[in-house]
Structure 1
Amino acid sequence: MRTWTPPELPELPGAGLTPKLYNTATGRFEYPAISEGRALLYVCGITPYDATHLGHAFTYLAFDIMQRAWRDAGIETVYAQNITDVDDPLLERAASTDVDWRSLADEQIGLFRSDMHRMGMIPPEHYVAVTEQIDEIAAAVRELVERGLAYSVPTVDSEGDDIYFDTDAAERESQWRLGDVAPYDHGTMLQLSAERGGDPQRAGKRNPLDPLLWRAVRAGEPSWESPVGEGRPGWHIECSVIATRALGGAFTVQGGGSDLVFPHHEFTAAHATAISGTPLAHAYCHAGLVAYQGHKMSKSRGNLVFVSKLLDGTHGACAGVPADPSAIRLGLLAHHYRSEWEWHDADLETANRRLEAWREGLERGGDDLASATAVLQQLRAALANDLDTPVMLATLDAALDRGVDDPALIAAAVDALLGVKL
């Protein structure tokens, strides 16, 4: 799958610091393992039926900033992202709107690419749709079945059987343990499984938490012939296969929104470890969820703020004035990437005022100008401290209120590290 044109990142003098990141799996701040000067990043992509809202943008911006930090530290990055272009929510939306599911997916993928390009996001080197790797995913499911790590469950609405991952067998036969990624109690796992695409009440399962690996063909649903029967993949095995084929095992960071910690990232790691014998990733980093109008942005509730509408000047109270992509970035970067927060329409105006103040600050002269070199050091220190963008913004507020002795250096630093054009 093609991506989008990457932004040009200015080169800065010296080198930044390798960032210390919060690892959800261990609950500690750590330096994820980087081998031979290359950081390998996998971030779970969209299900293309209602993209791209500010919740998406906040997540992908977090990992855009992470890559900028690594690159500033002289570390090469290799980035992979999937597209879940066949899944229940997509099929349900297509059916409800009487649109072919492939057409809906293609339309939304195109919109997402456009939004990411306009927002100045670094694109992945590996941008892979699930439908591009059906054979590879089916082969992985077959391997799990042959090794006794998966089993069949009869269906009432299909001639074939569904195939489930055997959580207990995987714990016995591999180094993965339930809770390695998501350190939750069993009751919480059951609740989250039911809320996030699992089926803990499904009759015939050996363990209520066992996730679906392969869904047997149902009437009216897309399906593919495979060694494990006609059907389509389950959610977690898709990312296991796409991630490891793109990056190998034990890559640097698995990323995504905090709602993916369980069950998605837990079982993505489980499948990959069971197949390869190698842990999926060294660190698991998660962005917080964004609310709007008092509730987490969600497609079911309909309280979404779309990036494209902000950029085109067609979003509600902000209608009539197309938003500067740098202002949207600043509105998001004002919040630490791990925080849970609420977007208000007035936030865009606040970001616009900050952007204008910074641009004016570059022109400010005087006898008490801040040292641009010292400001750059402060920005790099904050970036290395778990991507602390609010501190970076406060640092720039103070410096540009005074004016700086090398405006070109600050403009380049803000562009390279934050993706904000001054």
Structure 2
Amino acid sequence: MTELTRQHLDCGDPTPSLWSLLSRDPDGGLEPLFDGRRVAFSFNTRTALREACDILGLQPGDEVLAPAYNCGSELDPLLDAGLDIAFYQIDRRTRPDLTDMAQRVTPKTKAIYLTHYFGMLQPDTSAIRALCNEHGLFLIEDCALSLLSGDRPAEGFAGDVSVFCFYKLFPVLAGGAIVLNADQLEFREPFDQPPPHSLLRKPFIRMGLEAFVGARLLRKVAMWRRKGRVTPSLAAEPGAHIDMPPGYYFDPALKHSRISGFTKRALAAFNPAQTRTRRRENYDIYQSLLSDIAGVTPLYETLPDTACPLSFPVLVEDRDAVAARLSARGIAATPWWSGYNQKLDWAEFDDAQFLKDHVLTLPCGQHLAADHIRLIVSELTAALGTADQP
């Protein structure tokens, strides 16, 4: 294998210089995205969502209609607030079924939760906003995967509250935001608690080690340490859904936690416009290269003009096996949202389960060049050919 190939195989998010990040302006990179809006910055998006429940005045026993296709982690803060979650149908192209959504509104319903997937803004957002207005419901708009999408990034203008995530697009340690769009809403206790340093310590140390020994060597060590281990928390009873990772469940101790100063400094290192342009270019390359490959179906047929793609999502059979083989080759492909929040019930939502079991995301980050994408597609082709082998 050539040195160029070895370099290209290390396709995870890059680690910025640790020391250069520490010298950044702690206020740079954040406020310009939310210029003129009422925004508060949280430790992560789940913390922002937990705060949203209090800001909206939602009470235990109130119902929120949420998309059946979800990670599970974003809804756990709502469960922590004592809310009941009822799903509405999402089709296999991640679009809400508006008829189904409307039929599920009851006197108990107080809010609708809307997710923009993979950087693709929902085309029916205005109709969902109108449905909320008709029934006197709040709209919680989840823009965690679409930070730089829209005519005016950060978009998220339809929700009474909108939440965002920074580490999905940028290699930073956590970081989220909540924006209040409804005039009658006010921040009650904007994140006045320090960030949990115990959770930041491990990734901070990892970034330092990567700077000295390299990300690829560090990944090999981690894989060697995990070899042969079984994670009990992810095991499921026969016929049951596999659990999502334990860290995806909301920790009440994070309530009111603010964004870390390190994250704010790191964000000043990135250029949103360049990020959006490069990600769109990489997405287009994937679309061209994957058009004739059997066994791979792009989740979306086209890239909207205003989208900043989070990744390139595809549908594949034997998704987890394919992802494992790509990971072994150093490709940061993800079996997207493969785990299920065990507090929720997907029983009647076949399309959502299909997505959770078949979506594989290919990286199209701003650090990748065309050669990286070609290599990833080559490795994906090889992984598809061996996915059913032991």
TM-score (norm 1): 0.23
| Structure in which a larger fraction of residues adopt helix | 1
- Bigger CA radius of gyration: 1
Which structure would you say has the larger RCO, counting Cα contacts within 8 Å and 6 or more residues apart?
2
TM-score (norm 2): 0.24
